[in-house]
Amino acid sequence: MAEEKKKRDGFGSKLGIIAAAAGSAIGLGNIYRFPCELGNNGGAAFLLVYLAVVIFLGIPVMLSELVIGRRSQSNSVGAFKKLAPKSAWPVVGYMGVLCGFLIFAFYSTVSGWIVEYIIKAVSNSFDGRDLAADFKTFKDLGWRNVIWQALFIFLTGIVVFKGVKNGIEKCSKILMPLLLVMLVALAIRAMTLDSVKTEAGLAFLFRPDFSKINGEVIIRALGQGFFSLSLGMGVMITYGSYVKKNDNLTSTAFSIVLADTLIAILAGLVIFPALGGIVPKNPDFGFIFNVFPKLFSEMPGGYWLCIFFFVLLAIAALTSTISLLEVLVAYISEELHMKRQWATVVACVGTMIIGSFASLSLMSDTPFAIGGKSVFELMDFVSSNILLPIGGVLIVVFVGWKLGKQKFFEEVTNEGSIKASFKRIVFFIIRYLAPIAITIVLISGFIKKEEDSDNTTQPVPTEQIQSVEDTIQ
């Protein structure tokens, strides 16, 4: 009880907030998922739609979460309890916590693979290998995956254990600039290798073919935007609760979105010039592990490039898993009145257990599959395609209709002390446009899922990877 009376932990500086929140947003979603989505959905045309989505929906939804967090000074469940006492709204927070466990569980599986691949890169085990076969053999090892995954969760735990200012903020302030420098270096390397491939890659990324824009592209851009910006499950509510009362929320939201988008484009500048503009159809997570080591190892300085690439991925993944864990820890410690350190242990052990099902479900003879879908795929689908968009709609509806215009304006203007020029239009979007747009996307996503329920999220067939590799050579 005395614990609660103490001053709440929080971010020390505006740069710290931006580093931590951008760290959450920037992750595998930018470096791997964004280029794949772009590749599958019309290249530059997708980029344009994506930009529109993040500007018109991403910023308002991000701002809504930050407003809820800072106003309530509470975790994602406590926030709704405080701002809407005796109502059903805290359910949105509980959904976020559940979603956090699910995303953390499958995201840490992939993060564990990155650890394995850093080791492989250091021991130079890519040369002349059939990488697709190696990747499959590795996944079949089951428990080895679980151990790397547990290690990654443990690492995340160490940072969160230390607290918001001394753990999350400190770590993000070091890792995020490092990530930027590494990515710029990789992009320069990728773009100075082969002028024909670079040109093809850049054309793919920046020369839009407007005929490619259709409903599906818009839906996918929105899904990608939400995942990439870590929206819809309370990460930004939790981080928002650590923002000081005199910081400008609108410019913070804008900076996070800008950083996330620039990093995604920068990742495109590594991947497409390296691939020469050719992307495999329906690539899955395996793509980074199958194709990239081969691509890089054939370039001059390939040994270091591979190590560089996987370390970069690990950094990107770590700052994202930190935010997922923080949502859980903030909830457990504040709502269940547990010491922060114990809450971290509980959340980590819980995720290790749930996460091991995700890892083991990717073995060829796994018992952890339901209706032909692995637990890994189901966790991904339920969280990214169902819980995040529903969470997103409920969050904007909450701010637009329950919290209301006056309190929203108070929060974005710091009680009238700063001018927030776009506040009216942003509130209009939050109240009307965003809920409608996200609902349409959510429903159409379901219809689409019904239509092609038997050919989504299929792993990339080996022949296809082979053909990409051939083209690359």
Q: By the criterion CB under 6 A, which residues form the site for ligand TRP?
A: 24-25, 27-30, 103, 227-228, 230, 233, 235, 320, 323-324, 388
Name 373's bridge partners: 370
Radius of gyration, alpha carbons of the chain: 21
Q: From residue 58, give the alpha-carbon distance in Å to each of 152, 187, 231, 357, 429.
A: 29, 26, 8, 32, 11
Name 369's bridge partners: 374
Closer to ligand TRP by Cβ: residue 198 or 228: 228
Within 10 Å of residue 258's Cβ, how many Cβ atoms? 15
* Shortest spacing between CB 30 and ligand TRP, in angstroms: 5
Closer to ligand TRP by Cβ: residue 172 or 228: 228
CB 58 within 8 A of CB 225: yes
* Shortest spacing between CB 432 and ligand TRP, in angstroms: 24
* Shortest spacing between CB 102 and ligand TRP, in angstroms: 10
Residue that has been written with the tokens 């795929």 in this structure: 377
Name 374's bridge partners: 369
Within 10 Å of residue 467's Cβ, how many Cβ atoms? 13
Closer to ligand TRP by Cβ: residue 264 or 420: 264
* Shortest spacing between CB 323 and ligand TRP, in angstroms: 5
Gap between the Cα atoms of 172 and 160, Å rounded: 11
Closer to ligand TRP by Cβ: residue 101 or 272: 101
Name 132's bridge partners: none
Closer to ligand TRP by Cβ: residue 239 or 427: 239
Within 10 Å of residue 114's Cβ, how many Cβ atoms? 24
Which residue stretches of 89-169 are H helix? 90-122, 131-140, 143-161
Within 10 Å of residue 268's Cβ, how many Cβ atoms? 25
* Shortest spacing between CB 23 and ligand TRP, in angstroms: 9
Closer to ligand TRP by Cβ: residue 25 or 295: 25
Q: Which amino acid is at 199?
A: E
CB 140 within 8 A of CB 360: no
Closer to ligand TRP by Cβ: residue 132 or 233: 233
Closer to ligand TRP by Cβ: residue 103 or 379: 103
* Shortest spacing between CB 223 and ligand TRP, in angstroms: 11
* Shortest spacing between CB 175 and ligand TRP, in angstroms: 14
* Shortest spacing between CB 372 and ligand TRP, in angstroms: 25
Contacts of 455 (CB under 8 A, 6+ apart): none
Closer to ligand TRP by Cβ: residue 80 or 427: 80
CA distance between the termini of the chain: 64
Q: CA neighbours within 13 Å on the CB side: how many for 8?
A: 18
Kindly give the pairing relationship between strand 373-374 and strand 369-370.
Answer: antiparallel
Residue that has been written with the tokens 């650890």 in this structure: 115
* Shortest spacing between CB 451 and ligand TRP, in angstroms: 25
